[in-house]
Amino acid sequence: MTTELGNDLAALARDVRASTVAVHDTRGRGSGSGVIWDARGIIITNAHVVRGREAAVELADGRRFRAALVGRDENMDLAALRTEGVGDALPAADVRDSASLAPGEFVVAVGNPHGVPGAVASGLVHRCNARWVISDVRLAPGNSGGPLVDASGRIVGINSMIARGLALSVPSDAVVAFLRALRTGSRAA
């Protein structure tokens, strides 16, 4: 690996960490990661990370906030939270259309596996469909709900689970559809 490539990857990880949060279920039943989806305080995570009506969210800079559940889809394993008491704009992630992903593309996962904040893992896309972005990124407990990003740092998925040694991430297109359904009232919390 060249020094330039190493520096580029370190910068990518630093940028993605800024929009990655730690999410703690306030009932003490789990924790994982999340993504600041928009600057007004919408956080996307997995439904299996947040089981109650609220969560504690910790930003990369150490600030902590309460967040209320605004929507959940158990089938897609998605949950949307809204932070409370955030005065200034949050560092929202850039999002890419996951349908444009191709096998072999480089991807990076950022999250809090085993409680290690901002950990990074990388790999290649195996395939992408309407249900999953499948990659060989090595995920661990605590990565759930965190971002899967392309080489430009744009979100292409929300990390969900490992199956047969491969990472399964909810495609960004599914997250966009989930949020659209919440805005129109066709999906409840």
Sign of the Cα pseudo-torsion (72, 152, 17, 136, in order): positive
Q: Based on the residue annotation, tell me whether 172 is a catalytic residue of this protein.
A: no
In the 8-state DSSP scheme, what is residue 2? -
Q: Based on the residue annotation, tell me whether 100 is a catalytic residue of this protein.
A: no
Annotated catalytic residue within 144, 160, 169, 172: 144
Exposure of 163 in the CB half-sphere (CA atoms within 13 A): 10
Q: Where are the beta strands (DSSP E) in 49-165?
A: 54-58, 64-73, 78-84, 106-111, 119-128, 133-135, 147-150, 155-163
Annotated catalytic residue within 73, 77, 150, 173: 77
What token pair was written down for 87?
């005065």
Alpha carbon distances (Å) from 4 to 9, 149, 169, 181: 9, 20, 29, 42
Q: Based on the residue annotation, tell me whether 31 is a catalytic residue of this protein.
A: no
Annotated catalytic residue within 48, 135, 169, 173: 48
Annotated catalytic residues are 48, 77, 144
